[in-house]
Structures are given as structure tokens and as C-alpha cells.
Amino acid sequence: MESKLVVALDLMKESDVIEMAAKIGSRVFAIKLNWPAILLSGSRIIRDVSRYSRVICDFKVADIPNTNSLITEKALEMGAWGIISHSFTGHDSLRAVIESAGDMKVFSVVSMSHPGSAEFINPNTDRLVEMSVRAGASGFIGPGNDPAEIARIRKMAPGKIIMTPGVGAQGGKAGDAIRAGADLVIVGRSVYTSADPVKQVGNLNMEIDSSV
């Protein structure tokens, strides 16, 4: 069974990112790279990590359409498999990401895993899901530490890919997220700070497999 695990490598040294990618890349669905890795190493790290696994660029793109297009085109050029975009900036901005993405998957943020998401994003989740479907997003980012919210998003958007952060260090359980309707589970700190990351990935894969 193919892994449903996405590992976020928010490490502060390029060599550490590459070393970890080499260890776990064949055991996970994808590796997620956020701004820390890009700012420290440049966009080439997307291409370098792609040698070991699919890469999802967690850029949470949130700008005017032209800027969004430029960011997305660079991720595509470097070989990313997917990109994460905010949706609160509106249909035109999200649509610019989707139109520039080529064959990359575009994941729209409609609910987040930190408490502050309850202030502005979560009250508008329904509208963000509807708009993202209309814009043509491949799927959504929803909170893995809130299974009820995942289930609600799944009900609103059958057939779309749901990818969930908030598992591990933020308290969510991989199995709970999958049972609630998630397709992919994102785990970061509890893997890359583990004494044995390969073993931890194996444990998470087993937990996810037993929940399918």
C-alpha cells in the first residue's frame, strides 16, 4: 500500500534537509518544504529533494494574482509535485495559482491547525471550500487535530484530496485524521526530531494503514 504520509522538513540546514530526505523519501508519499528551507537554501532545494520523493511546496501563497503566478511558476520549474495556497485572498488570486501550476496539484487552505485559525479563517471555511472548488483546486488543507472539521470538509467536497497538518506535535492522531476523511497526513517535528526518524515513519505508516 502506498504511504499516505507527508513529512514536513522544516530544518534549518540544507545538508540536514537532504540527509533526511535521503533516509525517508522512499517511505513517504511526499516531503513538504516550507519557507525556512527555501530562504536558507534557495529554490534549488526543491529540485534536490525531488530526487528522493515528491515535493509539496508549502508556500501558503497569499498575494495578488501576478505575484502568485510568479511564485507558482518557480515551484513548477524546480519540479514540485504540489503547492499550497491560501484562499482568503479571493477567487482571482487562487485561480492565478491554479492556472500557473501546470500538472502540479494545488491545495487550498480552508482551515488551519493552530488556535488563531478560529478568529478569521474557520468562520469562513464553507465559503472558502465552495470558492476553491469553483476555482479548480485539487484539494484542501484542513486540521488533523480536529477530526470533526476534516469530516465536514470531506462532506462539502467529495472527490477532492484532503491533506492534514496538526498531527503529532500539535496533538492530532494520524489514524483519527484518516478515519475522518483525510487522504494525506502531514507530520513534521515528531519525525525529524525523533531519535530514529525511519522507525517513526514506519510506525506512522502502520498507524495510517490500520485506519484505512
- pLDDT value of position 63: 97
Cβ–Cβ contacts within 10 Å for residue 76, how many? Answer: 18
DSSP string, 2-22: ---EEEE---S-HHHHHHHHH
The string of pLDDT tens digits covering residues 57-96 is 999 999 999 999 999 999 999 999 999 999 999 999 999 9
Range of the domain at 85: 5-209
Neighbouring-strand partners of residue 164: 185
- pLDDT value of position 117: 82
The three-state secondary structure class of 33 is strand
Residues labelled catalytic? 60
Give the CATH number for residue 30: 3.20.20.70
Structural domains counted in the chain: 1
The string of pLDDT tens digits covering residues 95-148 is 999 999 999 999 999 988 887 888 888 889 999 999 999 999 999 999 888 999
- Judged against a pLDDT cut of 90, whether residue 29 lies above it is answered with yes
Whole-structure pTM value:
0.94
Average pLDDT value over all residues in the chain:
93
> How distant, in Å, are the alpha carbons of 44, 86, 96, 200, 206 from that of 92?
28, 12, 6, 40, 40
